[in-house]
Structure 1
Amino acid sequence: MIKRIFFFISLLIPFTFLQASIVVLNGLTHNYKVENGQVYKGKIAIENTGSKPQSVKIFLQDLSYQADGTISYTAPHTNERTNTDWIKLNTNFITLKGKEKTEVYYEITVPKQLSKPGSYWSVFIVEPVEDVKPSDSKQGVNITSIIRYAIQVITDYDAEKVKPDLKFESVKIEKEESKQIVKIAIANKGDIYSKPTASIEIYNRKTGQKMGVFSSQAMGLLPKTSKSYHIDLNKIPPDQYNAVIIATDEDENAFALNVELEVKND
């Protein structure tokens, strides 16, 4: 049987590239379907929207994140499921003239044999830097970083052999900008990347009346990571409720949790 791998690239953080006059032109997600042991080519298309020259360096790191907001970018091989050794860039440093576009090419060489099915991943760090300038105080030059960006590279190996495993870590209601927000921490305890949506069905605790179903945005979860999924409950009047929280991924795998909620006035 031919083994297949699926991988995609997506921008991990918001498009603050605009602050450094750098934008990515070829989308936030690139999907590929590849065969075991083959080499596949991709590119990152970049434009300098400013009028001045802009230098950019690109390199690979490992990635992990948790529901408390912690994001860790670490050296390759920190993650036992890293795929940094599979990926080669044609260059690690470019300089774009004002309004110039360019493409950075990479190759992914899929190993002929992998011992474990599931997701392997790393991130491209794309870091605009200041123009190289002579130093007034020292010999040589200084390069000062401006801001960093991360693009995930996730490779799913024999995904059909791995079942998702999502766990609810915590549920709490907090007030933000006069809105009642339920924050649901979901962890991916499995070995395969998942992109769940969290939804909540709310029932009045005394009458049993269904008050509605509310949903979060879908967000990707790498294995052994967690995120906080936020749902606006501003339409729900203050009271005590029973609720069913459901995490559903793109393949309609569902994980449920029964909870009691209290929506307060303040």
Structure 2
Amino acid sequence: MIKRILFLITLILQFSFLHAGIVVLNGLTHSYKVENGKVYKGKVAIENTGNNPQSVKLFLQDFTYHSDGTINYTAIHTNKKTNGDWIKLNTNLVTLKAKEKTEVFYEITIPDRVNDPGSYWSVIIVEPVDDIKPTDKQPGVSITSVIRYAIQVITDYDTEKAKPDLKFESIKVEKEEGKQAVKIAIANNGNLYCKPTASIEIYNRKTGEKIGTFSSLTMGLLPSTSKTFYIDISKIPPAQYKATVIATDEDENAFALNVELEVKND
């Protein structure tokens, strides 16, 4: 189940392709607390781990995701909370020698007046550019798959007036890699990015005795998006239970729901 969770996190943060060589060294989420009219600076650190020179292009896109696994990378202005217009890269194309590292810098210029408090975001796409080579086998060109990294740039404005609002979309008990797991789909209906953890307190249905508390990994959740949080309950014997499901963010804001839980043999 842990493998599945790590796979999903990776899928949220980057496109899944096959070619290796370019890696991003300084993280895939860059967050800033911002004020009107201010300028903030950041950078994308890139390394070519391959043995050949590699060109890399960088560009901005909007980005959303949902608990059913769908991820959308779209043109700037698709998302009404985009900050794509605020971000300027110092270059859109770099070429790295074998084993070379470089840094691409960007500036975020906050407008003199931002109307609504909360989180604004977009992603910087880092994409290796492969030479197009003719093929001897058939007319046309060959296409090589590459890794494309999506670096979230999140700007939080007037956070004192903004807050996450977490909602449980669904709660299921299903087998995950041969183990029973609680799958909790959580949506952020608020206007502020947060990093919630899902947990479940399980009780004996007849006696009320607490069986245990189990937790998921912590994951970031943008406004108007949702994710599925996985909790391993393979140690719980098959039976019907009472349970309390809790989502808690990094500021200890908690959202809870009482549920009936059935753990099956199969």
In the TM superposition, 1:142-161 aligns within 5 A as 146-161=146-161
Q: Does the residue aligned with 1:193 lie in a helix, a strand or coil?
A: coil
Deviations 1:213-262 (A, max 9, x none): 00001111111110000000011111110000000001110000000011
Q: CA deviation at 1:23?
A: 1.4
Instruction: Report the equivalent of 2:20.
Output: 20
Instruction: Report the equivalent of 2:239.
Output: 239
Q: Does the residue aligned with 2:192 lie in a helix, a strand or coil?
A: coil
Q: CA deviation at 1:26?
A: 2.3
Paired letter, 2:83: N
Q: CA deviation at 1:17?
A: 8.8
Instruction: Report the equivalent of 1:261.
Output: 261
Instruction: Report the equivalent of 1:81.
Output: 81
Deviations 1:158-180 (A, max 9, x none): 01111321100000011022200
Q: Does the residue aligned with 2:13 lie in a helix, a strand or coil?
A: coil
Query: Structure 1 residue 203 and structure 2 residue 203: aligned?
Result: yes
More displaced 10-residue stretch of structure 1: 10-19 or 29-38: 10-19
Instruction: Report the equivalent of 2:130.
Output: 130
Paired letter, 2:36: N
CA distance in 1, matches of 2:80, 2:32: 23
CA distance in 2, matches of 1:72, 1:18: 20
Q: Is 1:17–1:23's contact at 8 Å kept on the other side of the alignment?
A: no
Deviations 1:176-200 (A, max 9, x none): 2220010000001111111110000
Q: CA deviation at 1:40?
A: 1.7
Q: Normalising by the residue count of structure 2, what TM-score does the alignment of the two structures yield? A: 0.88
Paired letter, 1:127: E
CA distance in 2, matches of 1:71, 1:239: 36
Q: Normalising by the residue count of structure 1, what TM-score does the alignment of the two structures yield? A: 0.88
In the TM superposition, 1:162-173 aligns within 5 A as 162-173=162-173
Q: Does the residue aligned with 1:164 lie in a helix, a strand or coil?
A: coil
CA distance in 1, matches of 2:108, 2:118: 17
Q: CA deviation at 1:29?
A: 4.3
Paired letter, 2:127: E
CA distance in 1, matches of 2:29, 2:152: 9
More displaced 10-residue stretch of structure 1: 23-32 or 239-248: 23-32
Q: CA deviation at 1:147?
A: 2.9
Paired letter, 1:157: Y
Instruction: Report the equivalent of 1:176.
Output: 176
Q: CA deviation at 1:56?
A: 1.4
Q: Percent identity?
A: 75
Uncovered stretches (5+) of structure 1, i.e. residues with no partner? 1-9
Paired letter, 1:69: G
CA distance in 2, matches of 1:119, 1:55: 32
Instruction: Report the equivalent of 1:4.
Output: none
Q: Is 1:129–1:143's contact at 8 Å kept on the other side of the alignment?
A: no
Q: Structure 1 or 2: larger strand share?
A: 1
Q: Is 1:12–1:151's contact at 8 Å kept on the other side of the alignment?
A: no
Uncovered stretches (5+) of structure 2, i.e. residues with no partner? 1-9
Deviations 1:128-152 (A, max 9, x none): 22135468857xx988552322110
